[in-house]
Amino acid sequence: MNEHLLIGLANIIILGILAQWLAWRLHLPAILLLLLFGIIAGPVAGVIDPDAVLGATLFPLVSVSVAIILFEGGLSLKLGELRRAGGVITRLVTAGLLVTWVLAAAAAYFVAGLEASSAVLLGAILVVSGPTVIVPLLRQVRPLGNIGSIVKWEGIVNDPIGAILAVLVYEVIIARGVGEGLSLVVFGVLKAFVLGSLLGLAGAVVIVLLLWRYLIPDFLQNPVALMIVILCYVASNALQAESGLLAVTVMGIALANQKFVSIRHILEFKENLRVLLISILFIVLAARLPAAELALAHPENWAFVVLLILVVRPAAVLASTFRSSLKKTERLFLMWMAPRGIVAAAVVSVFAIRLGEAGLIESGTLISLTFQVIIGTVAVYGLTASRVARWLDVSQPDPQGVLLAGAHPWARSIGKILQDEGFTVSLVDTNWENVTEARNVGLRSQCGNILSEELLANLQLDGIGRLLSLTPNDEVNSLAALHFVDIFGRSEVYQLAPTHTGSISQQAVMPKHLHGRFLFGKTATWEYLDDRFRKGAVVKKNSITDEFTFEKFKGMYGESALPLFVITESRSLTVCTAANPASPRSGQALISVVDPLKESG
């Protein structure tokens, strides 16, 4: 018996991680494959039976996992984003939420054929979207301007609100009285928001104090933070049902925006934990779908999904963006971004069973319809969002621009030639004179510390897809690379080779996770480049052709020529590194550092 349960648990984890990996390889939304694997392993093949594996602990584990996921989502929300788009965000989570609830409930009643009470409950559940779907899609789409912040805030904040709304609707259904139910809803909403907010703030304060006063060792910081998140969630739920999701979301937002301690290690831990939890949860919940209630061929169910996409979402966005400063294309993109995720799946699984036990509804129908909405919306938005964003000109999915840490003279030379070639360039320097000189030659630049969280929040990264750290301080270069890994990815953060490592073998001694990719060449340290430019070296572009090959380029400029970038025929930018030196071919352009004497000769 124990061996059977162990195999079942192993299957859940293996299928979840395998689906995530395949989604990455195939460039598909991970949730699609997770749901597919779960349905095949559960109701179709019967390989996984989550109720038998997890028993009575199934839904408590699901609830705690969702709380951790929302806490991690809260950690990604910066209050500075509210200053730029707070009005639209507020209306989306109020007026937009109300419109979504009412219209979704009406569609569930008139089109999907649910009973009135079930339709109202389903409408409340379907106001949510969540970080499990929104964050990966935004990473794929890379929207320009404030539109990404708006979608992210709406998706994360709507989740706890939708969960609270579903609880209150459930209580009204059980109460079987409109008058009593209405007072219950009003009082419940107020109580949930007050208790959830206060407990969330209190949890954040406790974590900050523990870290600020060094009351816990480094190896216990993540476990203690996780313990406080779960404690806050359970305590809030004990006082008001489902207010715990709001509490952990508020805790995450408070921690993300405080300035007293660094929480980077907590954020990294939660991000890794989130991937594992999402993988397990979707497999488990999809595997619980009743085979008789999959109903994927029922036209009325698909008509309901189509109405959610083509009518309900556009109506909610129109109500929320009326007289706002958003462009027409940005509003259209908002109308095409409302996928449902793990919170909808978890909430419907819990409340459908409760209503089924009360004899008020057939739980399987509600569960299968919600999962059909999840599958339909994730498929539609996940497979088309990038194309729609490009068509509306609100995204740049493969940005080729460069963020330069350093605005000293030769960094300006590099930035200028890249900008002249059509690439977006932005420079950051702590020296006002360098920043002023960069602006005088038409380069976008900002004065500040590249490691500053405030600067990061204010940087305009539209069109920028990589960091080149060119400061004379090796430690700052390494820290800057680490600082921007979460934004650009480890493959697109670069730094100059450290001064004390003159050869690639010596560079290899440095732990790879503590630095970016080394730029340009084995000896391309700050001192080397600065000395070259002081002696008159210049940054030059050469077109490589059948007549003027790369070999002829090296023959003309000599071994001192240092390739920096290769511009391909499709106008993409390849950064030359110590590990991957340049090898441009005909039709491409080479940007390099060359000596004037070689050039004149």
Q: What is the mean pLDDT of residues 438-445?
A: 89
Q: What is the mean pLDDT of residues 225-241?
A: 90
Residue 186 phi/psi, 5-degree rounding, is -60, -50
Question: What DSSP element (H or E) covers 447?
Answer: strand 444-447
Q: What is the mean pLDDT of residues 473-489?
A: 82
**CA geometry: angle 86, 92, 93, nearest 5 deg:** 95
Spatial distance between the Cα atoms of 30 and 481, rounded to a whole number of angstroms: 28
Answer whether residue 377 shows pLDDT above 80: yes
Answer whether residue 503 shows pLDDT above 50: no
Higher per-residue pLDDT: 502 or 590 = 590
**CA geometry: angle 418, 419, 425, nearest 5 deg:** 90
pLDDT tens, position by position, 335-348: 998 888 777 877 77
Answer whether residue 270 shows pLDDT above 60: yes
> Which alpha helices (H) appear in 142-263, and where do they start and end?
147-175, 178-212, 218-239, 243-257
Answer whether residue 501 shows pLDDT above 50: no
Is there a contact between 541 and 589 (Cβ–Cβ < 8 Å)? yes
Question: What DSSP element (H or E) covers 465?
Answer: strand 464-469
Answer whether residue 443 shows pLDDT above 70: yes
What would the two tokens of residue 333 be?
């993109």
Q: Give the lowest-confidence range in 22-31, 120-129, 264-273, 526-535.
A: 264-273
Is there a contact between 114 and 366 (Cβ–Cβ < 8 Å)? yes
pLDDT tens, position by position, 555-576: 887 778 888 888 888 778 888 8
Contacts of 333 (CB under 8 A, 6+ apart): 143, 147, 388, 389, 392, 394
pLDDT tens, position by position, 86-140: 688 888 888 999 999 999 999 999 998 888 888 888 898 898 876 677 877 777 7
Q: Which residues pair with 541 in a beta bridge?
A: 591
Q: What is the mean pLDDT of residues 288-305?
A: 72
Percentage above 70 pLDDT, the chain = 87
Answer whether residue 6 shows pLDDT above 60: yes
Residue type, 171: E
Please give the sequence-ordered ranges of beta strands (E in DSSP) within 297-424, or none if there are none: 401-405
Q: Which residues pair with 494 in a beta bridge?
A: 468, 517
What is the pLDDT at residue 1?
53
Residue type, 288: R
Which of the 8 DSSP states describes residue 92? Answer: I
Q: Which of 34, 41, 119 is nearest to 369 (CA)?
A: 119
Residues comprising the chain, all counted: 601
**Integer angstrom CA distances of residue 87 from 84, 392, 478:** 8, 22, 38
What is the pLDDT at residue 317?
93
What would the two tokens of residue 26 be?
């195939």
Spatial distance between the Cα atoms of 296 and 44, rounded to a whole number of angstroms: 13
pLDDT band at 476 (very low <50, low <70, confident <90, very high): confident
pLDDT band at 507 (very low <50, low <70, confident <90, very high): very low
Question: What DSSP element (H or E) covers 564?
Answer: strand 562-567
* SS3 category, 463: coil
Q: What is the mean pLDDT of residues 479-489?
A: 80
What is the pLDDT at residue 229?
93
Contacts of 153 (CB under 8 A, 6+ apart): 77, 81, 82, 85, 89, 92, 93
What would the two tokens of residue 139 be?
């990473």
Answer whether residue 218 shows pLDDT above 50: yes
* SS3 category, 143: strand
Please give the sequence-ordered ranges of beta strands (E in DSSP) within 373-424, or none if there are none: 401-405
What is the pLDDT at residue 315?
95
Percentage above 90 pLDDT, the chain = 12
Q: Where are the domains of the chain?
A: 62-391, 401-600
Q: Report the sign of the C-alpha dihedral through residues 464, 466, 470, 471, in that order.
A: positive
Higher per-residue pLDDT: 395 or 227 = 227
pLDDT band at 260 (very low <50, low <70, confident <90, very high): confident
What is the pLDDT at residue 514?
62
- Greatest CA separation for the chain: 93
Is there a contact between 290 and 43 (Cβ–Cβ < 8 Å)? yes
What is the pLDDT at residue 314?
95
Higher per-residue pLDDT: 212 or 398 = 212
| Domain 401-600, CATH homologous superfamily name and number | NAD(P)-binding Rossmann-like Domain (3.40.50.720)
Q: Which of 95, 91, 118 is nearest to 107 (CA)?
A: 118
Spatial distance between the Cα atoms of 462 and 465, rounded to a whole number of angstroms: 8
Q: What is the mean pLDDT of residues 441-462?
A: 77
Q: Under CATH, what is the fold of the domain 62-391?
A: Na+/H+ antiporter like fold (1.20.1530)
What is the pLDDT at residue 99?
94
pLDDT tens, position by position, 163-194: 778 877 777 776 655 555 566 666 777 888 88
What would the two tokens of residue 461 be?
């990264």
Is there a contact between 427 and 445 (Cβ–Cβ < 8 Å)? yes
| pTM given for the model | 0.71
What is the pLDDT at residue 598?
45
Judged by phi (left if over 0) then psi (alpha if -120 to 50, else beta), residue 464 lies in: beta
Torsion, Cα 556 557 560 564, to 10 degrees, reads -120
Spatial distance between the Cα atoms of 237 and 246, rounded to a whole number of angstroms: 10
**Integer angstrom CA distances of residue 337 from 23, 147, 530, 600:** 20, 11, 48, 57
Spatial distance between the Cα atoms of 94 and 127, rounded to a whole number of angstroms: 11
Indicate the average pLDDT of the chain: 81
Q: Report the sign of the C-alpha dihedral through residues 482, 488, 491, 496, in that order.
A: negative
